[in-house]
Chains A and B, each alone.
Chain A
Amino acid sequence: MKIALFATCIVDAMYPATAKATVAILERLGHEVVFPGGQACCGQMHVNSGYFKEAVPVIANHVAAFESDDYDVAVAPSGSCVASVKHQHPMIARSCGDRALEERAAAVGAKTYELSELLVDVLGVTDAGSQLGSWFPHRVTYHPSCHGMRLLRLGDRQQRLLDTVRGIDLTPLPEPDQCCGFGGTFSMKNADVSSAMLEDKAANITATGASLCSGGDASCLMHIGGGLSRQGSSIRTLHFAEILASTEQHPAQIAGEVQLLSGKAAQ
């Protein structure tokens, strides 16, 4: 299968390791990955902040970058950005009166998948350890991001994949369905409420005793990680793609000191 990677702007600019891991997983399964160079951003920040007019060029750019027939499916390591592509792009095009863009956007959306959705539903991955060689000997907890959970109905796909990684100690997170408080510009416009939500999320993560919190959206993980870091916590955040890509030969790169389950510090 020829798979077009939509890296998403935040991963492209801030978390390239997540995109590299996505490529690694897909190639390990024998698929060809392409990177449409025109891609930039899904435009969700504009849409969710009410700047529809400014969102249109961003959306049009994404549609132009991904409407080629030269690949079978597109994938992004983000529930939120995929939900935007599938749901918001046609809606904004319609509300701005661009019927042609609406149709083209719907066509792109129809072949765009979130990573765990692609792995489980399309590529048949049921056991990351045996099918991807995934190995990650750390105690990890997992936060299901809202948009993947509620807009894409990913269910437990990401968690099931993590659960089958060899060596992992996956510890359940209390109140997993509670939003971390990111919400894009919400985190700045309503910084106090956002911080209060984050405080509770961080406390729940800390209570698990895990050294890492994983998830499927770099933005939420940046938010959670930023809060933990500010509190002086040693708990790191890591996208599930990086955990799936991690093997004995090429263990995931984790910023800072994280205890291995065997007791040895990993870099």
Chain B
Amino acid sequence: MSQTFLGMPSLPVFGTGNLHASESFPKAAHRELGNAQLRANLGHATHTIRDKRLQVVSELPDWEQLRDAGSAIKESVMARLPELLEQFEKNFTARGGVIHWARDADEANEIVAGLIRETGETEAVKVKSMATQEIGLNEYLEEQGITALETDLAELIVQLDHDKPSHILVPAIHKNRSQVRDIFLREMPGADPALTDDPAKLAAAARTHLRRKFLTAKVAVSGANFALADSGTLAVVESEGNGRMCLTLPETLITVMGIEKLLPTWQDLEVFMQLLPRSSTGERMNPYTSLWTGVTEGDGPQNMHLVLLDNGRSAALADEMGRSALHCIRCSACMNVCPVYERTGGHAYGSTYPGPIGAILSPLMTGIQAEENSSLPYASSLCGACYDACPVKINIPDILVHLRGVDVDSKRGKKKIPTQMDAGMKAASWALSSGKRLGLLEKGLPLGRLAAGPDKKITKLPGIAAGWTQSRDIPAPPPQSFRTWWANEHRGPDPEGGPMPSHNKGDQQ
């Protein structure tokens, strides 16, 4: 640090903004599951993208090596973050850019609003950006009398519908084509009443709607996919050309980027530009990627600003088990393969970041105790599909389990009456940490047969176990446990003793 060090800041400092679930995941999921149209839309979309991703990933003979490289590069970025941030700052500034640092969402919003105000404009075009969703920039600007116009097709759909994004790549994934047509007809001034639900026609309608805005905009706000420390270069990966419009035509460009987006060198881009498009849209390459290094005279915006955002990232970084969540390149492959996301959609997670990555990133950035975020790490069956799909190998299942531990520990001793789960886990720990105790309990299990009907099924259980029997029967316990059978067949019970050899007398069935 160049200035006097004023003591170690107390950690962690959590993030604010749109990072919270305001109701518990099971409650939100219950509501979303009731929406048959939503489930059909999501099922269709996630299956389409899964197949495309698998197809293009299988084409590359070195996919696993690319993942290994991507993972190691990101790990080294996290380990060297202070140094890389300073290096990036130096290079970006040397090329005519201006860097602003924002501790949290409020500070970032104020900076962006101030920069727009300085230009004298009251309107800005926007390229889809997760960071600005996270800080709630559009809403803040609106309060300040500034109109932020989303230009990505899906963001436009969501904004026109006064809805919230439900996916980080395809924010309107929860809408099908006919719903999109209805939104356009209702909300888009001058929409052709004969508009059909053909996606090509819908895209053309968006083009017409936004064209004038692009050509006259003086200010654009963007995010960034990558920032190269060794050159001060920024990259935006997109498809529609709305990114190019925003990054090229206006006079002023304001980019908002999380501090974790850095890559050390130009060479690292060759890894990430292979990993990202195949993992996100399932394409060999996305239609357009723009890279710019500060200001280029006569080409593109001449006023270049970058807001570097912490907003809880340093808190996530402080969690040794969880910090690799910051490796995320926002490809959305994890949510596309997640069986939970597929059925609940993104709104159930509350936060800007839904799906498996959101279930770890949101509580890491806000702290486990923020609103209902402690319910997010449980929103997974731990099937592991997300880890396999992640291009930078974030071990999401392990971090989910780690955060469950953080949650349980954060509540220890705080409750007067332990929950059913607490009591059950304590009792089970006692019973399951001794062969003898488990053996004794198993002797009582046949009593469970009394609870079963003549069909030997248990169909209703009390308390938290009622969740099981809402859709599943349990078979009546067997008359005898394996342990007891073995003891009878072999040399008598010795439940705490050493190995008991079998008689090796052939088929025991």
Contact = CB atoms under 8 A, between A and B. Distances in A.
Nearest to B377: A50
Contact of A247 (B383, B402, B432, B507): B507
Given A37-B497, A186-B381, A150 B340 contact: no
Interface in A46-83: 46-55, 57-58, 60-61, 65, 68, 70-71
Given A95-B405, A179-B381, 18 more contacts: A7-B482, A14-B478, A24-B507, A28-B506, A34-B502, A35-B499, A39-B435, A40-B435, A41-B433, A58-B432, A70-B499, A149-B384, A150-B388, A187-B381, A188-B468, A193-B29, A196-B33, A196-B39
B284 to A, nearest CB: 24
Contact of A37 (B29, B383, B425, B494): B494
A224 to B, nearest CB: 9
B274 to A, nearest CB: 23
A197 B485 CA distance: 35
A247 B509 CA distance: 10
B93 to A, nearest CB: 42
A255 interface: yes
B25 interface: yes
A4 B500 CA distance: 9
B290 interface: no
A51 B429 contact: yes
B132 to A, nearest CB: 30
B220 to A, nearest CB: 39
Interface stretch (A103-111, A225-233, A258-266): A225-233
Interface residues of A, number: 89
A185 B472 contact: no
Given A49-B408, A51-B429, A71-B499, A40 B437 contact: yes
**Looking at A52, A147, A225, which has the most chain B CB atoms within 10 Å of its CB?**
A52
B343 A193 contact: yes
A223 B381 CA distance: 13
Contacts of A88: 401
Contacts, number: 270
Contacts of A19: 482, 486
B459 interface: yes
Contacts of B494: 37
B57 interface: no
B504 interface: yes
Contacts of A222: 474-475
A190 B498 contact: no
Nearest to A186: B381
Interface in B362-399: 377-385, 387-388, 398
Given A23-B502, A28-B507, A195 B471 contact: yes
27 contacts: A4-B499, A13-B442, A16-B482, A20-B509, A24-B509, A36-B498, A37-B495, A37-B499, A49-B425, A50-B408, A51-B429, A54-B428, A61-B433, A68-B499, A179-B385, A181-B381, A185-B421, A186-B381, A195-B470, A195-B471, A196-B33, A222-B474, A225-B473, A227-B471, A230-B459, A230-B472, A249-B507
Nearest to A7: B482
B430 to A, nearest CB: 8
A225 B475 contact: yes
B434 interface: yes
A58 B340 CA distance: 29
B426 interface: yes
B475 A32 contact: no
Q: Which 4 A-B residue pairs are closest in the complex by CB-CB distance?
A: A183-B381, A50-B404, A226-B472, A191-B467
